[in-house]
Structure 1
């Protein structure tokens, strides 16, 4: 399956939902991992915004 942000089932921009769908994981698991990663030092928010821009949205 191609990596894209879904129009349905997204919370903020659909980045976590798109990653979860691409790898066959539950969106809640990916969202939890993303939130937990914020406890670590690093550019997580910048990476999320970049993915938001780079991952295309589902057509129609």
Structure 2
């Protein structure tokens, strides 16, 4: 059940916009939660973001 990177709702690559749409959440809330998760996991979220940027199909 893959979601697409959002081309209109993006700041860097549209990954958080795609995740937000897939979960049915607000994009801003998703970005805030993803940022906090990245900080609290010693920046492992940056690696996950880059992988999702490569793997997620564009809209």
Moved over 4 A (4+): none
CA RMSD of aligned residues (A): 1.5
Q: State the TM-score, normalizing by the size of structure 1.
A: 0.85
Q: State the TM-score, normalizing by the size of structure 2.
A: 0.87
Instruction: Quote the offset at 1:39 in angstroms.
Output: 2.1
Q: 1:35 to 1:42 in 2, by over 3 A?
A: closer
More helix by share: 2
Q: Aligned residue pairs: how many?
A: 58
Unaligned runs of 5+ residues in structure 2 are none
2:55 aligned residue: 54
Unaligned runs of 5+ residues in structure 1 are none
